[in-house]
Amino acid sequence: MSQHDRDLAEAIYDEIISRDSVGLAIDLWRFANTKLKRDYERMLLVLARTSEAAIDTVLTRRLREAARTGPWDGTP
């Protein structure tokens, strides 16, 4: 695993355990309690959505940083 891959994995992990992600997970669990009967289904929903949101947040942040800093060699 490259250093870049490790950095990305650490950023995603940090986002998953952030206060916002934990709040999202709790809200999703409460919502799932009203819609789904089994704990297994609820946990799948919470893990999938929380992870998806964390990955999207990290990748969006990195894309924004890349767009801001370049590289811009050869562009008019």
pLDDT along the chain (76 residues), means of 10: 92 95 93 88 93 96 88 65
What's the confidence (pLDDT) of residue 66? 85
Q: Where are the domains of the chain?
A: 9-63
Encoded tokens for 52:
């998806």
**Using CA atoms in the order 34, 42, 27, 31, what is the torsion angle rounded to 10 degrees?**
-20
